[in-house]
Amino acid sequence: MTNQDTCVEGLNNVGGAVKDEMGQRLKDLSELVSNCLAIYAATSGLDDFSGTPIQNRRRRRLLGSGPEPNPELKYDPEFPGWMSRAERQLLGTPTQSIQADIIVAQDGSGTVRTISEAIKQAPEYSPRRVLIRVKAGMYVRSNPILN
């Protein structure tokens, strides 16, 4: 839901069937996420999600996604095929133990104050993933990020 406005703005620059198809898919996705949040709020007795912790859990899986993946296999259906084993393991690591390359914090406690600054600071071509951690807060985007 956070990037919905960005997607809609991006579609304004596209025309024809692509705009219609993606616009409909974005609308469907937005409704699905909204429904999921409403169901969660109704079943948990919460009126908002401000106290909900966000964590990466090692064994987090979709319902009905089948048996646990075999760690010996290079392919894991839980992740895209282009991700290396090390990258998949990184996604399963608790966020507290990950050392980020760039930290975004509005209060000045990070290495940069805006997400745009972090993206500019990240190298264009790197032999490894550059990790950017965005600390909690409200970040109002004023400039679009273009390739």
Which stretch of DSSP H or E encloses residue 8?
helix 4-11
On the question of pLDDT at 25 being above 70, the answer is yes
In a domain, 13, yes or no: yes
In a domain, 105, yes or no: yes
Local confidence band at 69 (pLDDT 50, 70, 90 cut-offs): low
In a domain, 28, yes or no: yes
On the question of pLDDT at 77 being above 50, the answer is yes
Does one domain contain both 90 and 109? no
Does one domain contain both 43 and 8? yes
Q: What is the pLDDT of residue 143?
A: 54
In a domain, 143, yes or no: no
Does one domain contain both 1 and 43? yes
Among 5-9, 88-92, 103-107, 135-139, name the most confident range. 103-107
Domain that holds residue 88: 67-96
On the question of pLDDT at 93 being above 50, the answer is yes
Q: Which residue from 93, 58, 88, 61 is spatially nearest to 75, judged by alpha carbons?
A: 88
The Cα–Cα gap between 17 and 23 comes to 10
> How far is residue 120 from each of residues 8, 48, 115, 128, 143, measured CA to CA in Å?
23, 34, 9, 17, 12
The Cα–Cα gap between 143 and 117 comes to 11
Does one domain contain both 91 and 117? no
Q: Give the total residue count for the chain.
A: 147
On the question of pLDDT at 100 being above 80, the answer is yes
In a domain, 60, yes or no: no
Please provide the average confidence, as pLDDT, over all residues in the chain.
70
Does one domain contain both 6 and 40? yes
Does one domain contain both 7 and 48? yes
What is the average per-residue pLDDT within 24-47?
72
Q: Enumerate residues 6+ apart whose C-beta is below 8 A from 114.
A: 104, 106, 139
In a domain, 142, yes or no: no
Total number of domains in the chain? 3
Does one domain contain both 92 and 131? no
Q: What is the pLDDT of residue 88?
A: 79
Other residues' Cβ atoms within 10 Å of the Cβ of residue 102? 19
Lowest mean pLDDT among 15-19, 79-83, 102-106: 79-83
Q: What is the pLDDT of residue 56?
A: 43
The Cα–Cα gap between 104 and 77 comes to 31
> Which residues make beta-bridge pairs with 102?
132
